[in-house]
Structures are given as C-alpha cells and as structure tokens.
Homo-oligomer: A and B are copies of this chain.
C-alpha cells in the first residue's frame, strides 16, 4: 500500500465532515476521498439490517477508489455495521466508537459516563460495550436525541429551541451524575457550545470526531503510511445532488468544498 494513496471517509451524509475537518487539521498532507450517502441519509433512524446493507455498498465503493485506510465516520455504521464494512473493504479501518470510548474512560472520575446519539447507535449499546471492555466498573447512560441532527442541519445551534430540546434530552443523564458526555453522532459537535452550557462546567465533553482523527494520525504514523506531502487534496462523492451538500457541508467542514461528484451506489451481497 502506497503512502500517497488517499484516506477514505464514509458517512451517511454530511456529519462525517466534522471528522474530515479534524483530519485536515492534523494531517494536511493527506488526500481524502469522502463518501456521503445523501440520497438515503439519515441512517440513525433505520434498522440494523438496512444500515448494514447500505454500509456494504459504501465500503465497496471506497475500496474501488484505491484507499489505504478507511475511516467510518458515521456512529450508526460504526455501531451496527463495522464488520460488514470490513467484509467489503480490505484495508485497515477505524470507526468512531472505540476512540470516543477510550477518551471517555480516561476523562471520567465519577465513573458515570453519558452517551448521546441516534436511536440506532443508542439501541445497539455499542458505546456501553466499548467502554466496559476498557473498564467494566464505568456506568454508561445512553440517550437518543433524534432532534439534534435536524437542528444541526437547520443551523439552529443556539437559542431557545435547541437549548430547551437539550435540557429535555439531557435531564435524565444529569440525574445519573455523569461527569463525561460523549457526542456519539458526528452532527453533534456543531451543538457543542450549547450542550456544554446545559451540562455545566463540571462535565467533560468528548467529541468522537476529533478523537478518531487523532487515532487515524497515530495509526498511519505507526504503520509508516503517513503522507508527508505539503497539501493534500479532498474529493467528495455523494448520492444526491451536490448543491445542498456543498452549502450545508461548508458549515460542517469550515472550508470551501469543491470537487463534488454524484454517484449511484451498487447493490452488493
């Protein structure tokens, strides 16, 4: 595998751009190929079977782009379909859950960790398993927050509506005495300032996106696969129209987005 091959990033839509943003910051020399399945987003409300079917198609597509490493930047796919991704894309890969789980265990003193995410991610109990594999004494409290994705996409990241929604979703977690809150969905970093406000300053907020980017950098360096080029290129593939991806995506990426291509994913078995 060549150092100059691109890193593949797979997400259900635009949320994974928060991971790309961190990758670009930490590893400016890397080429990145991003796939967002915008014609079928969001995955977080779908059944595990359907998510796995879509994950297989996305993984096959990125495999065919000649990537050296695959980042599954979608919590839902990481939670219920990582094995299916590995089955269809034979390169080293990382999901967003393990890095987030490790950071959460390291940060918690109270031994109570809160995790918020999509319905599919929370129902899968993937964070509970990942955290308890590291430290079985940590109590993990999960809550699905279905309104956070549309709020982030709508750009309503501050003000009364998101604050009241957050208070309602986080009330139960606060009652458990958590001192760490894991953002188990790549849309949620956009709501981070507001979530920090609602949780108060004694709660550490773990952003899976940046933890994952750090792990990608460490792994590529360890394996001698890092690209030391001065400036990498990023190309983007989406399954619905590029226009909306560009306008909403630039808010997530904090960068201009060029080179967006529309593709149809092929069914695989």
Question: Which residue numbers of A lie inside 8 Å of B, CB to CB?
Answer: 38-41, 45-47, 49-50, 146-147, 149-151, 153-154, 156, 160-161, 164-165, 168, 239-241, 243-244
Q: Of B46, B168, B239, which is within 8 A of A161 by CB? A: B168
Chain B residues within an 8 Å CB radius of A165? 161
A240 contacts B46, C-beta separation under 8 Å: yes
A240 contacts B161, C-beta separation under 8 Å: no
Chain B residues within an 8 Å CB radius of A160? 160, 164
Q: How many copies does the complex hold?
A: 2
Contacts A161-B164, A164-B160: A240 and B50 contacting too (C-beta < 8 A)?
yes
For this complex, 6 residue pairs linking A to B, each with C-beta atoms less than 8 Å apart, are: A39-B50, A46-B240, A46-B241, A47-B241, A47-B243, A147-B147
Q: Which 6 A-B pairs have the closest CB atoms?
A: A47-B241, A150-B150, A39-B50, A50-B240, A161-B164, A40-B40
Q: Of B146, B150, B241, which is within 8 A of A146 by CB? A: B150
CA distance A49 to B149 in the complex (A): 24
Contacts A39-B40, A164-B160, A165-B161: A50 and B241 contacting too (C-beta < 8 A)?
yes
CA distance A103 to B154 in the complex (A): 30
Distance from A137 Cβ to chain B, minimum over Cβ atoms (Å)? 33
CA distance A156 to B47 in the complex (A): 22
CA distance A132 to B220 in the complex (A): 61
A39, closest chain B residue (CB): B50
B164 contacts A49, C-beta separation under 8 Å: no
CA distance A49 to B241 in the complex (A): 8
A154 contacts B164, C-beta separation under 8 Å: no
Given contacts A46-B240, A47-B240, A161-B168, 14 further A-B contacts (CB under 8 A): A38-B46, A39-B40, A39-B46, A39-B50, A45-B244, A50-B239, A50-B240, A50-B241, A146-B153, A149-B150, A150-B150, A160-B164, A161-B161, A164-B164
